[in-house]
Amino acid sequence: MKDLFYTYILNLQNRITSALEDIDGKAKFHEDEWQREEGGGGKTRVIENGNVFEKGGVNVSAVHGSLPKSMQSYFKVENCGFYACGLSLVIHPKNPFVPTVHANWRYFEMFDLSGKMIDQWFGGGLDLTPYYLFEDDAKHFHQVCKTGCDKHDPEFYSKYKKQCDDYFWNHHRNEGRGIGGLFFDYLKPTANKSIDQWHDFVTEVGDSFLDAYLPIVKKRKDMPYEKHHRDWQEIRRGRYVEFNLVHDKGTLFGLKTNGRIESILMSLPPHVQWRYDHQPEKNSPEDQLINVLQHPKDWINT
């Protein structure tokens, strides 16, 4: 399974970076291939200062070795090894009317001292972080998510949409990081779902990413904007950074397993503002976004 999924995410990385380069028309992804001393490595691809994308990364990694003590305590295991592979991406567009997007698809195994596998699971999802809310964009993104889920189980979309809203929640701000999408973790083989079926579901979601995001980019990338739009984008990016450094489990896992710091922190945007007690004007477009972030919506049935 790990070989099958690793081959998949390598191919998906190629498809996504090629499509994003085509839309940008100027910047190209720079690839940085790296090795992890404890075992494994990855391919980090970063795009910067383009026509459309100010900064973005589409990373693939496959790492293995002894599970660190801090993670053994988290998973309630002792003296075991692990293997983890995945694709993680974050794209920060230049135009404030184009949303930031994040996605991740990963596979994890744990082994005992004899090398016998004792656990395995998939995780991942995709979510959208707009700076200005366009309801048709939100509905499109969520409809693509629902269509992929419905092919596998009619209950998946509502379940994983709620998990996304719950996970990407800035508790210290009492607001969502964005307008959600899908989030799932610990998709393990059961009597009802084999690991192969979970693989098929996760790759279905991965294959839908470009359909979910690119139409929004094409629609919004050439919209004119002014400095106050850009200022608001940078203020909201600050909230994005806060979530990633305070709450995100993937970031914390990478830091605790001696992950490659440049790859882990590639999710951080290049230009950010933190203004003291900044409040948007009541009933402004900025205020409307905050209201939605504080009260997650059902985008399919509205």
- The CA distance from 184 to 230, in Å, is 32
Q: Select which of 30, 64, 92, 102 is catalytic.
A: 102
Which residues are CB-contacts of 88 (< 8 A; sequence separation ≥ 6)?
57, 58, 59, 61, 103, 104, 106, 250, 267
- Is 102 known to be catalytic? yes
The residue to which tokens 């656990």 are assigned: 119
Residue-wise burial string across 283-296, b where 16 or more C-beta atoms lie within 10 A, e elsewhere:
eeebeebbebbeeb
DSSP label at residue 29: P
- Residues with Cβ within 8 Å of 197's Cβ and at least 6 positions away in sequence, in order, are 152
What's the half-sphere exposure (Cβ side, CA atoms, 13 Å) at 292? Answer: 24
The residues near 162 (Cβ < 8 Å, ≥ 6 apart) are: none
- Would you say 181 and 161 are in contact if contact means Cβ atoms under 8 Å apart? yes
Among 4, 39, 201, 202, smallest CA distance to 111 is for: 39
Amino acid at 193: K
**Is 232 strand, coil or helix?**
helix
Question: At which residue do the structure tokens 């106050």 appear?
Answer: 228
Q: What are the two backbone dihedrals, phi and then psi, of residue 23, each rounded to the nearest 5 degrees?
A: -70, -40
Task: Give me the active site residues, please.
Answer: 102
